[in-house]
Amino acid sequence: MQPEGLGYFTAPRHDATDGQRYAFRLDGGPARPDPCSSWQPDGIHRPSAVFFPQRFRWAERGWSGVRRPQLVIYELHVGTFTGQGTFDAVVDRLPDLVELGVTAIELMPVHQFPGDRNWGYDGVHLFAPQNSYGGPHGLLRLVNAAHAAGLAVLLDVVYNHVGPEGNYLGEFGPYFARGHATPWGSALNFDESGSDAVREFVLANVRQWVRDYRVDGLRLDAVHAMVDSSPRHILAEIKAAADDEARRLGRPVHIIAESNLNDVRLLDSPDRGGYGLDAQWSDDFHYAVHAVLTGERDGHYADFGSPQHLVKALNQTFVLDGVYSHYRGRVHGAPAGDHSGDRFVVSIQTHDHVGNRAAADRYGSMLTPAQQRLAAGLLLLAPHVPHLFMGQEYGETRPFHFFCSYLDPQFADAVRRGRRQRFQAANHQCELPDPQASATFFDSKATWSWAAGSWQAGLRRLYCDLIAARRHWPALSDFQTRSAELLQLVDGGSLIRLHRGRADDRSRFTIYFNLSDRFIDSPPGDSSSHVLLLASESARFGGPRAPADERIVLFPWEFVVLSQA
């Protein structure tokens, strides 16, 4: 290759064929795969393969994308979502997701990682879809089929660090920062000497996913670990790069940040000093729901547990908005300000909330069916963009463990020790499964089963009805106007009353959430002029309420939706 200056080398070639292997030798050293490889058919350490995405024949049926207010996101892990664990196997289940009513699937990271089992956050080839999932060809087929079925595709990407095994980036240039690190490994260099090429490396990756794979958005993992003191933050440049490609495609592309900062500078426009991203996660909603329903108060849940926290999450999005955090030992966050609710993605379960528990247990095995139905209502009737984790819609009871398949025993041992130390420090007594064992991975595969007449089938029906309501009930499309309040009952029970829609609008809804195991004869306030639209404890959803029972009462852990007569 011929040097061009500033560390760049080129070797023009016009006779490469699809699948042809190639590698680099740096100063006579060992052969290394391409850090920007689009295809690693033989794994992370072997030579890269030539791939021509422009040769794929798209058949999207006039796909025009999904606007942000219409997003209902379904997060899935390709390897455990089906028995086969491939992109093509996900295609086979798309009709069930369409029936559920979600509008977007979010794939946990799919860039090439060691072995064939991993959450995806240890990837080292950021441009290459995982070979064991079906490689780049399989991902193209999945996106094409999803668009034809009316589903957007969001991709979880990791730009804060690179996995440890097979990580040859540091041999090619100053890709890693000297001045800071992340909890998961060396941080990417966005603002030190030589960082221009590193920034372009990330921006080229953004363009590839949107241009070549036509994904509808990116979920940026842990942006709080992306340190950048440059005049223009890398997050703002990521958004600009995605917007450029979106304009060429003529459809929306959503850039959504996972952040634990509770800081809306991520969303603020550049003229207000922000980065202009489309949306950000708000984990406060999960913490508030989880702490109330489970009674857990360890770790992050130390700052939550009162029903009033849930009221605040419904009204103001951030619970920790400049108040003292017991978990952190300091003031945390800032107010969400005037941003509409559809700028925030909320959940009751995610891969993190399940897999980073010692037992990796889900709500399906932790909560009663009634509590799971209540949690579904809190999520899907909240004035935010809802995010579901695969299986929660039918009360999946199998765990979702942390798993990996490092090829180097040293890395495998390091992960085992790290997991043990983490949970021992938190005083968890349960026996941890070996993340490297294949059984840990296979135990995490979703059953994808809800027998007719079971409470699981009823729960899934409730999810279907609530998601349909978000499409058809106008008040649920209003992400600005909402009013929640806590009603303390004389017997000690807690009831949340949530209004969605304007007070002068006949499409306004009133929703009551019973956060107790008590039966409530009549909710406080004047409900005589209202009719019951939906009750979570209806027999239709697997509850004890008789099919013809239209009384405005509340069974234990029930929510009811009322409208004006």
Catalytic residue (choose from 34, 122, 216, 221): 221
Q: Tell me how far apart the alpha carbons of residues 515 and 524 are, in angstroms, rounded to a whole number.
A: 14
Nearest Cα neighbor of 465 from 542, 408, 565 is 542
Contact of 151 with 103, CB cutoff 8 Å: yes
Q: What single-letter amino acid sits at 170?
A: G
DSSP 230-267: SSS-HHHHHHHHHHHHHHHHTS--EEEE--SS--GGGT
Q: Tell me how far apart the alpha carbons of residues 402 and 134 are, in angstroms, rounded to a whole number.
A: 22
Question: How buried is 261 (Cβ within 10 angstroms: 0-12 exposed, 13-18 middle, 19+ buried)?
Answer: middle
Q: Tell me how far apart the alpha carbons of residues 228 and 326 are, in angstroms, rounded to a whole number.
A: 28
SS3 breakdown of the chain: % helix, strand, coil, rounded to 5?
A: 35, 20, 45
Beta bridge partners of 560: 512, 535
Q: Is the dihedral of CA 269, 274, 277, 281 positive or negative?
A: negative
**Other Cβ atoms within 10 Å of 472 Cβ, number:** 8
- Rg of the Cα trace of the chain? 24
Contact of 115 with 109, CB cutoff 8 Å: no
Which secondary-structure segment (H or E) carries 104?
Answer: strand 104-107
Catalytic residue (choose from 122, 237, 245, 258): 258
Which secondary-structure segment (H or E) carries 95?
Answer: helix 87-100
Quick check: is 258 catalytic? Answer: yes
DSSP H helix total and E strand total for the chain: 14, 25
Q: Which residues are catalytic?
A: 221, 258
